[in-house]
A and B are shown apart, each in its own frame.
Chain A
Amino acid sequence: MQKHRSSDIGGSVLRPSTPLDIGRQAQRQRIIDAMIESCAEKTFAATTITDIVGRARISRTTFYKQFDDKRACFDATLDHCLEQLRELAATAYSPDDAPADAARKAATAVIKDLAARPGVAQLLTGDAIAVDPGVVERYRKVTIPALEGLWAREGGEVELRSDPRLAFGQAQVLILNQISIGRPEDLPELLPEIVYLAVSPFAGHDEAIRQSRLAQEDPDDAATTTGG
Chain B
Amino acid sequence: MPQLPPVDNPEDLRQWRLPRGRHGLPRELVERSQRERLLAAVVRVTVEKGYEATTVADILGEAGVGRESFYELFDDKLDCTLAAHRILLDDLDQRIRGAYTEGEDPWAERVKKALAVTLEWCAADPEAARFVTVELSTIGPPFRAIFQTEFSRFVTMVDEGLDDDMPSPELARAASLAVGATIARIYEEVFLGRGAELPRLLPELTYGFLVPFLGEDAARAAADG
Give the B-binding residues of A (Cβ under 8 A). Answer: 43, 45-46, 126, 129-130, 133-134, 161-163, 165-166, 168-174, 176-177, 179-181, 190, 192-193, 196-197, 200, 204-206, 209, 212-213
Stretch at the interface among B94-102, B117-125, B211-219: B211-219
* With known contacts A45-B52, A180-B144, A193-B171, A170–B184 Cβ distance under 8 A: yes
Taking a contact as CB atoms under 8 Å apart, the answer to whether B183 and A173 are in contact is yes
Taking a contact as CB atoms under 8 Å apart, the answer to whether A174 and B177 are in contact is yes
Taking a contact as CB atoms under 8 Å apart, the answer to whether B171 and A196 are in contact is yes
* With known contacts A45-B52, A170-B184, A126–B143 Cβ distance under 8 A: yes
Residue-wise, chain B 141-164 has the 8 Å CB interface mask toward A (1 for contact) of 101110110011000000000000
Give the A-binding residues of B (Cβ under 8 A). Answer: 52, 134, 137-141, 143-145, 147-148, 151-152, 170-173, 176-177, 179-181, 183-185, 187-188, 191, 208, 211-212, 215-216
Taking a contact as CB atoms under 8 Å apart, the answer to whether A177 and B176 are in contact is yes
Taking a contact as CB atoms under 8 Å apart, the answer to whether A173 and B151 are in contact is yes
* With known contacts A193-B176, A204-B216, A133–B185 Cβ distance under 8 A: no
Taking a contact as CB atoms under 8 Å apart, the answer to whether A43 and B177 are in contact is no
Q: Across the interface, which residues of B come within 8 angstroms of A46, CB to CB?
A: 140
Taking a contact as CB atoms under 8 Å apart, the answer to whether A172 and B171 are in contact is no
Taking a contact as CB atoms under 8 Å apart, the answer to whether B177 and A169 are in contact is no
Further contacts, 6 of them, CB under 8 A, given A162-B211, A173-B180:
A129-B137, A133-B137, A170-B180, A170-B184, A212-B170, A213-B170
> Bound complex: CA of A171 vs CA of B216, how far in Å?
19
> Bound complex: CA of A163 vs CA of B138, how far in Å?
26
Taking a contact as CB atoms under 8 Å apart, the answer to whether A173 and B184 are in contact is yes
Taking a contact as CB atoms under 8 Å apart, the answer to whether B143 and A130 are in contact is yes
> Bound complex: CA of A174 vs CA of B184, how far in Å?
10
Please give the distance in Å from A74's CB to the nearest CB on chain B: 14
Q: Across the interface, which residues of A come within 8 angstroms of B191, CB to CB?
A: 133-134
- Of all chain A residues, the one with the shortest Cβ separation from B216 is A205
> Bound complex: CA of A172 vs CA of B180, how far in Å?
8
> Bound complex: CA of A193 vs CA of B171, how far in Å?
7
Q: Across the interface, which residues of A come within 8 angstroms of B144, CB to CB?
A: 126, 176, 179-180
Taking a contact as CB atoms under 8 Å apart, the answer to whether A169 and B181 are in contact is yes
* With known contacts A133-B138, A169-B187, A205-B216, A176–B181 Cβ distance under 8 A: no
Taking a contact as CB atoms under 8 Å apart, the answer to whether B138 and A130 are in contact is yes
Taking a contact as CB atoms under 8 Å apart, the answer to whether A180 and B180 are in contact is no
> Bound complex: CA of A130 vs CA of B134, how far in Å?
9
* With known contacts A45-B140, A133-B134, A169–B148 Cβ distance under 8 A: no
Q: Across the interface, which residues of B come within 8 angstroms of A181, CB to CB?
A: 148
Q: Across the interface, which residues of B come within 8 angstroms of A168, CB to CB?
A: 184
Please give the distance in Å from B115's CB to the nearest CB on chain A: 14
Please give the distance in Å from B17's CB to the nearest CB on chain A: 34
- Of all chain A residues, the one with the shortest Cβ separation from B181 is A170
- Of all chain B residues, the one with the shortest Cβ separation from A122 is B144
> Bound complex: CA of A166 vs CA of B207, how far in Å?
12
Q: Across the interface, which residues of B come within 8 angstroms of A193, CB to CB?
A: 171-173, 176-177
Contact of A196 among B141, B177, B184 (CB under 8 A): B177
> Bound complex: CA of A90 vs CA of B144, how far in Å?
31
Q: Across the interface, which residues of A come within 8 angstroms of B52, CB to CB?
A: 45
- Of all chain A residues, the one with the shortest Cβ separation from B212 is A196
Please give the distance in Å from B81's CB to the nearest CB on chain A: 14
> Bound complex: CA of A192 vs CA of B212, how far in Å?
12
Taking a contact as CB atoms under 8 Å apart, the answer to whether B140 and A174 are in contact is no
Contact of B176 among A45, A161, A169, A174 (CB under 8 A): A174
Q: Across the interface, which residues of A come within 8 angstroms of B141, CB to CB?
A: 43, 126
Q: Across the interface, which residues of B come within 8 angstroms of A176, CB to CB?
A: 144, 147
Please give the distance in Å from B92's CB to the nearest CB on chain A: 17
Contact of A43 among B140, B172, B187 (CB under 8 A): B140
Q: Across the interface, which residues of B come within 8 angstroms of A192, CB to CB?
A: 171-173
Q: Across the interface, which residues of B come within 8 angstroms of A180, CB to CB?
A: 144-145, 147-148, 151
> Bound complex: CA of A106 vs CA of B134, how far in Å?
30
Contact of B184 among A129, A172, A179 (CB under 8 A): A172
Q: Which 4 A-B pairs have the closest CB atoms?
A: A169-B184, A180-B148, A173-B180, A180-B144
